[in-house]
Amino acid sequence: MSKVLVLTATISSEENSYSLELKNRFLKYYKEAHPNDEIEEIDLNTFPIAQQTLNVDNQKDYWGKDAMGAINQLRNTDKLIVVSPMHNFNIPAMLKNYLDHILLANETFSYKYSVKGEAKGLLPNLKVQILTTQGAPYGWYLWGNHTEYLRGTFDFVGAKVTTPILVSGTKSAPFNKMKPQEVIDEFDPEIKLAATEF
**Binding site per annotation, positions for FMN:** 17-19
Residue type, 68: M
- What's the distance, Cα to Cα, between the start and end of the chain in Å? 13
Q: How far apart are CA 55 and CA 63, in angstroms?
A: 12
Residue 109, SS3?
Answer: strand
Q: What is the 3-state secondary structure (H, E, C) of 121-177?
A: ECCCCCEEEEEEEECCCCCCCHHHCHHHHHHHHHHHCCCEECCCEEEECCCCCCHHH
- Where does residue 37 rank: exposed (0-12), middle (13-18), buried (19+ CB within 10 A)? middle
Q: Which residues are annotated as a binding site?
A: 17-19
**Cβ-based neighbours of 77, under 8 Å, separated by 6 or more:** 3, 4, 5, 125, 126
**Greatest CA separation for the chain:** 54
